[in-house]
């Protein structure tokens, strides 16, 4: 039983941002520093090429390069989750096979979507996940995010877990995530190995109350979010709640005012990376928004603010 | 004046499907045959890598390969429009530069979008088109399609045409396209060099009445759609209308029952390509749907049905 439990991921698995130089080229040295900083933040694992990694602004070649570079550089220090989402089942599977070869511990995958109109039906989605599982033989985290425009019902998620046994983790970041997590755990039982939340951990306490065993936040303040999860899972709910209340103003500001730019700005502020560049058509943070973020970050002083100094 | 008019594209610029082998690999020989068939259909130009080319199911490397192969193979016989849409301005611009180098006559571009949530504001869209224009120095056709989830107002399209002079063609395939074309022509005047419609030419007569000077349909029956446009533009409206009425059942069936699979199925039927494979999660035509399509196609007998026999 201990062997089996050792393979269950719980805790905090933040998303690594993808740093760019001022001209928009990949900053490969910055990427390595991001990973080192995250490991120093005490993360239980790292997710790469996710939405907060600006995956929708990268070429295929850049994805391949980053997959290899990140897995090489992390070198087993923590497990790495590689996002391989693509509308094409074939391409998502090719990405999955490459991630496996590079040493990924897990994949993260959205259901297929493109624009507002192109989706798959439920059978098509099961086939999509099954093909990716077959191509990689890796555990898969389903990303249930509003960006996809796909509604994944609890009954469908349970069906997916049962028909594709490698689909074991569920990152729920839709509205009222806690209610969905609670429903999923009740309906799916042992097939729901890892009920997670996401979205910068903006609903973490409610999600932990609902049974979440992990969270995928940004790399802005994982050193301060992790104790919340650890305390909660160890039965210290009130300590968890008071720590969460202390950091919530920063998380709220990230979630509602900044998005993925918050981590980049604070990593630049703290010397982790040289530039907080995002790729167009994303826009830089307004200076006033950045100042508001920095003010709240200084109040709780996450590691990113001084890691590189 | 004749020199200037020679550079204005009017008529019919259908989309080339991307043929696949049964295993889903690109069918490069089939791709060449598709292009040859389309030229024999009498098209005024060909658009590649569009939505009906399954662009959302191709890797970057496949796009590059197809761009070079198609331009090489067409070899100036007709102008080729290359679609270079991507959410990233940088990547759309890189694709545009490659298309220019390969010999494209024009680019087609949607505004930036990803999933349901990621869009650019109007300034960001102008910057996006301006960057692509700068990278290629080619005329650009704006694709105004529901799939993007972006609402492009008439006033914004006119602003775009005026601020980015290479934005000259406007493929309007939103609901009530005719009204939008009419408004665009009235508001934009000489800056609207090519008001086109799209969507399988399902609204062609109304769009011609509104002032459209070209259409971007599929490659299913351009040999039968082109006379409609030619007659209309030459002042023979009633001949155009009666020819259009004759082919409308097939166009309607394509538009509402089959989508991009119609051209592939009929090209396979007529020996243009060997396989009508689409990439998952797209699904093959149901046999009954395919039979219904074939029945209507035989009634009007487009070139695809016998080109390869």
Q: How far apart, in whole angstroms, are the C-alpha atoms of residue A193 and residue B284?
A: 35
Is A128 in contact with B91 (Cβ distance < 8 A)?
Answer: no
Is B115 in contact with A113 (Cβ distance < 8 A)?
Answer: yes
Is A89 in contact with B124 (Cβ distance < 8 A)?
Answer: no
H helix or E strand, kind and range, residue A215? strand A214-215
Q: Which residues of B touch A147 (CB under 8 A)?
A: 114-118
Counting beta carbons within 10 angstroms of the beta carbon of residue A7, is it exposed (0 to 12), middle (13 to 18) or buried (19 or more)?
exposed
Please state which CATH class domain A2-305 belongs to.
alpha beta
Q: Which residues of A touch B114 (CB under 8 A)?
A: 56, 147
- In the three-class reduction of DSSP (H, G, I as helix; E, B as strand; rest coil), residue B143 is classed as strand
Contact yes or no for B117/B85 (Cβ under 8 A) = no
- Based on C-alpha coordinates, what's the Rg of chain B? 18
- In the three-class reduction of DSSP (H, G, I as helix; E, B as strand; rest coil), residue B25 is classed as coil
- In the three-class reduction of DSSP (H, G, I as helix; E, B as strand; rest coil), residue A225 is classed as helix
- B2-234: CATH number: 3.20.20.70
Q: How far apart, in whole angstroms, are the C-alpha atoms of residue A144 and residue A150?
A: 8
A48 DSSP β-pair partners = A82
Residue B91 backbone dihedrals phi, psi, to 5 degrees:
-75, -40
A interface toward B at CB cutoff 8 Å?
24, 56-61, 87-91, 94, 112-118, 120, 124-125, 127-128, 131, 146-149, 279-281, 283
**What letter does residue B43 receive in the DSSP assignment?**
-
Is A114 in contact with B147 (Cβ distance < 8 A)?
Answer: yes
pLDDT of residue B3: 38
Per DSSP bridges, beta strands A167-172 and A140-144 are parallel
Nearest chain A alpha carbon to B279:
A88
Contact yes or no for B219/B14 (Cβ under 8 A) = yes
Q: How far apart, in whole angstroms, are the C-alpha atoms of residue A35 and residue A8?
A: 22
Q: Where are the domains of chain A?
A: 2-305
Is the pTM higher than 0.90? yes
H helix or E strand, kind and range, residue B93? helix B89-102
Q: How far apart, in whole angstroms, are the C-alpha atoms of residue A185 and residue A187?
A: 6
Give per-residue pLDDT as tens, B195-228.
999 999 999 999 999 999 999 999 999 999 999 9
The active-site residue, picked from A98, A100, A171, A309, is: A171
**Annotation says B171 is catalytic:** yes
Q: What is the pLDDT along chain A (309 residues), one digit of tens a residue?
A: 333 444 799 999 999 999 999 999 999 999 999 999 999 999 999 999 999 999 999 999 999 999 999 999 999 999 999 999 999 999 999 999 999 999 999 999 999 999 998 999 999 999 999 999 999 999 999 999 999 999 999 999 999 999 999 999 999 999 999 999 999 999 999 999 999 999 999 999 999 999 999 999 999 999 999 999 999 999 999 999 999 999 999 999 999 999 999 999 999 999 999 999 999 999 999 999 999 999 999 999 999 999 999
Q: Give the length of chain A.
A: 309
Closest C-alpha among A36, A73, A51 to residue A303: A36
- Asked if the interface predicted TM-score (ipTM) of this complex is over 0.85, the answer is yes
Contact yes or no for B90/A280 (Cβ under 8 A) = yes
Closest C-alpha among B190, B115, B170 to residue B148: B115
Is B147 in contact with A118 (Cβ distance < 8 A)?
Answer: yes
Nearest chain A alpha carbon to B112:
A281
Counting beta carbons within 10 angstroms of the beta carbon of residue B256, is it exposed (0 to 12), middle (13 to 18) or buried (19 or more)?
exposed
């Amino acid at each position: 039983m201990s062997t089996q439990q050792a393979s269950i991921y719980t805790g905090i698995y933040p998303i690594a941002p993808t740093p760019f130089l001022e001209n928009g080229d990949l900053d490969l040295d910055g990427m390595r520093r991001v990973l080192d900083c995250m490991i120093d933040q005490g993360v239980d694992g790292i997710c790469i090429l996710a939405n907060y990694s600006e995956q929708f602004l990268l070429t295929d070649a850049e994805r391949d390069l980053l997959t290899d570079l990140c897995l090489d550089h992390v070198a087993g220090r923590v497990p790495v989750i590689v996002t391989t989402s693509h509308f094409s089942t074939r391409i998502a599977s090719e990405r999955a096979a490459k991630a496996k070869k590079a040493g990924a511990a897990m994949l993260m995958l959205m259901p297929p979507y493109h624009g507002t109109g192109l989706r798959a039906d439920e059978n098509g989605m099961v086939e999509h996940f099954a093909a990716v599982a077959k191509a990689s033989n890796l555990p898969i985290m389903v990303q249930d995010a509003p960006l996809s425009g796909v509604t994944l019902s609890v009954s469908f998620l349970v069906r997916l877990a049962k028909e594709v046994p490698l689909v074991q983790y569920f990152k729920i970041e839709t509205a009222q995530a806690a209610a969905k997590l609670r429903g999923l755990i009740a309906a799916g039982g042992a097939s729901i190995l890892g009920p997670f939340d996401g979205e910068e951990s903006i609903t973490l306490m409610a999600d932990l109350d609902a049974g979440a065993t992990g969270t995928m936040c940004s790399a802005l303040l994982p050193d301060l979010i992790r104790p919340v999860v650890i305390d909660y899972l160890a039965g210290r709910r009130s300590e968890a709640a008071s720590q969460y209340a202390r950091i919530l103003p920063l998380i709220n500001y990230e979630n509602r005012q900044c998005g993925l730019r918050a981590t980049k700005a604070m990593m630049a502020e703290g010397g982790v990376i040289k530039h907080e560049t995002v790729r167009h058509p994303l826009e830089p943070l307004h200076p006033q928004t950045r100042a508001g973020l920095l003010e709240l970050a200084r109040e709780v002083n996450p590691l990113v603010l001084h890691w590189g100094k």
